Amino acid sequence: MTAGPLDAAAERHGAAAVLLGHTRDDQAETVLLGLARGSGIRSLSGMAAASGPAGRYRRPFLQLDRQTARKACMVQSLSVWDDPHNIDPAYTRSRLRHEGLPALEKALGKGVVEALARTAQLSRDDADALDTWATEAARSVRDDDGRLECAGLAVLPPAVRRRVVRRAVIDAGSPAGSLFARHIEEVDRLITDWRGQGAINLPGRVEVRRQGGRLVIRQS
């Protein structure tokens, strides 16, 4: 089910939370998929224990492996539903589950899933800290009109600077799901490698140009 029907069901039943069955194995798969995309540390953070509006979606089984969760259901005579997409090789996650992870465990030994899940938590802690730093830094690099000053951005650590830029272009109307690392790198060059280049066009018809030592970010 998509978030829409789940939200509707939660509202209909007056549910305070929706519990999802993702396990440690699912988390490991998510980390590997993020690594393959090269989307940065936030992508390596995997799935959060709580997400959605007011933390409605909760994942209480992220510390349990899939087999333990399945056995617990069997002991309590609970029916287990297997999503048919999980065995369809047309899907990348399915191929990773049935081919990729077993190959990694064969090459590296047992414990790969646990290590990947641990990486997710460490990455989430780091990403949260960097996001907080970027939020504070954004206030110090804006002029009186709210535009980002390139001189102030240039002295920030790259991980912080790119977060400031990403948040600014999303706020201007660029969809987060369509905004990739290469987009942010192009904008970053307006700050760190300025050679008089023209405007950068981003998803959502957002345009970024450098003008008067500041980034002008607007939606066309």
- Per-position pLDDT tens, the chain of length 220: 445 788 888 889 999 999 999 999 999 999 999 888 876 788 899 999 999 888 999 999 999 999 999 999 999 999 998 889 989 999 999 999 999 999 999 999 989 999 999 999 999 999 999 999 999 999 999 999 989 999 999 999 999 999 999 999 999 999 988 998 899 999 999 999 999 999 999 999 999 999 999 999 999 8
* Torsions phi, psi for 10 (to 5 deg): -65, -40
Q: Quickly tell me which residue has 């802690």 as its tokens.
A: 125
Residues in contact with 53: Cβ distance below 8 Å, sequence separation at least 6, in sequence order = 7
Q: Residue 43 half-sphere exposure, CB side, CA atoms within 13 Å?
A: 14
pLDDT for 20 equals 93
Long-range contacts of 131-138 (CB under 8 A, 24+ apart): 131/163, 133/160, 133/163, 134/160, 134/163, 134/164, 134/167, 135/167, 137/161, 137/164, 138/164, 138/167, 138/168
Neighbours of 172 (CB within 10 A): 16
Label residue 6 exposed, middle or buried (CB < 10 Å: 0-12, 13-18, 19+): middle
- pTM for the model stands at 0.80
Q: Residue 131 half-sphere exposure, CB side, CA atoms within 13 Å?
A: 11
pLDDT for 3 equals 56
Q: Quickly tell me which residue has 């069997």 as its tokens.
A: 74
pLDDT for 1 equals 44
pLDDT for 37 equals 80
pLDDT for 75 equals 96
